[in-house]
Amino acid sequence: MEERKNSRRIVWLVIMTVIFSAAVLSAAVLYRQQTDAKIENGASLPDGIPKLDWDSSHDEESMLALEAYFYELQPKVAIKNAPDFEWKDICPDHFWVKSFTVTSYKNTPYKVYGFTYIDGAKNNKKMAAAIDAEAQDIINTVRKERSGSTWDDIIGVHDELIRRIKFIKDDNDNGNTRNLYGALVEHRAVCQGYSYAFSYILKKMGYVSSEIYSREHMWNRIDSLESAENYIDVTWDDYDDSDRNGQPYIHHDFFCIAKEEMEQFDEHTPESADTNNRTAPKGDNYYTKKGYYIKSGDEMGFHACALEQFNSGKNLLEFRFEDPEDYLKADEQIMTILLSLGYSDKYYTFKKNELLTFSVGLYPPADAE
C-alpha cells in the first residue's frame, strides 16, 4: 500500500492560535498487469488462432498489426519471432488490454499471446478518441500559457494533471483508475493512472518519459531533461486540497528531483533496478529554477521570496531550505512574514522533512480543519 506522506497543518493568524490537523495520509495500490508464461509440449498450434509474423526491423508496423487485434478484442494471437514483451510495450496506449499470458510451443517459432480486456472495452475506439481529445486540450492549454521550453512544457503538464485529476484512495476500485481513460476522461486515478497520463501527454509533445515503479507505487523519469534532477511524482504532488475559491494548491516537492532524493522514500525503491545513474549537473529542481531556494541563514531572502510569491497572486507560497535549522525555524518566521505582508487569515502549512520543503496555503476554506 502506498502512503502519500503529505502532512498539513492549519494556522489561525488573527488570534495567533496554532491548530494542528491530522496528517493527510492517502493510499493507493499499484495495479500492474501480470504476465504468465508456460511451455506446451505439442508441436502444433491450436486451431483457429490468428497468426502474425513479427518483423523486428519494423517494430512499429508490427505493433500496428497487433493493435488491430486489440481493437477487435481478440483473445489469442499467435506471433512468430515475437519479442519478449514487457507490459510497457502494450500499455498505456492500449489501455483496454487488462492482462496477457504467453504460451510457447516446442518445435514452432510461434508463441500464443492470450489477452484479457477491461469491462466496456468494446467501446475502445470511442474511449481512445476521448483520451486524445483530453490530452490535446491539456497540450493546447500548456502551450498557450507557457513559453514552450522543455521545462515549461513539462511543468505545465504536471500542473494541469493535478488540476484535473482526483486521487482515488479506494484500493478495491476496479474501474479505470489505473489507465488513461480514468485519469484523462473520468478525472479519477491512482498513481498508475497519473504516471501513464503524464508519459502519454509528454510523448505527444515530443518528449521521452519512462515509468518507474516499486511494488506499491509508480512515478516518472523524464529522459528529455538533461539535468540529473529528472524524476517527477505527480501523484505525491497532488494533495487534493483547494482554497476557498476552489483553486487547487499545486505542489512541486517532487518536481525534478534527483534519483537519490526520490529513493530516500521507501515507496520509491524501484522493484527493478533503475540503471539511470546520470552524472549530469543539477539545475532543474523546481525550487532552484523558480528562485524559491533559501540559502543558509538568509532570513531576508526568505521574506523577499514570500513577498514575491504573495504579490504574484499565488495561493501557495513554496520554499525549500538549504539548512535544516532554517527549515525548522520556518514555522515561527512565516507567521511574522505574513503579518508584515498584510495577511491575517488562516493558512495551511505543508512540510516535507526529507526534502526540507515548506509550503504555505493561503485562503483555506472557512470550514478548514
- Please state, in angstroms and as integers, the Cα–Cα distance from residue 70 to each residue in 36, 76, 102, 122, 193, following that order: 19, 10, 15, 10, 20
| More confident call, 84 vs 255 | 255
Model confidence band, residue 335 (pLDDT cutoffs 50, 70, 90)? very high
Neighbours of 325 (CB within 10 A): 9
Cα 245 to Cα 291: distance, rounded to the nearest angstrom: 27
- Three-class SS state of 206: coil
**Separation of first and last alpha carbons in the chain:** 26
Candidate from 91-100, 225-234, 239-248 with smallest mean pLDDT: 91-100
- pTM of the predicted model as reported, rounded to 2 decimal places: 0.87
Q: What does each C-alpha distance from 96 to 14, 118, 366 come to in angstroms?
A: 53, 5, 42
**What does the pLDDT read at residue 170?**
64
Q: Among 31, 13, 27, which Cα is nearest to 240's? A: 27
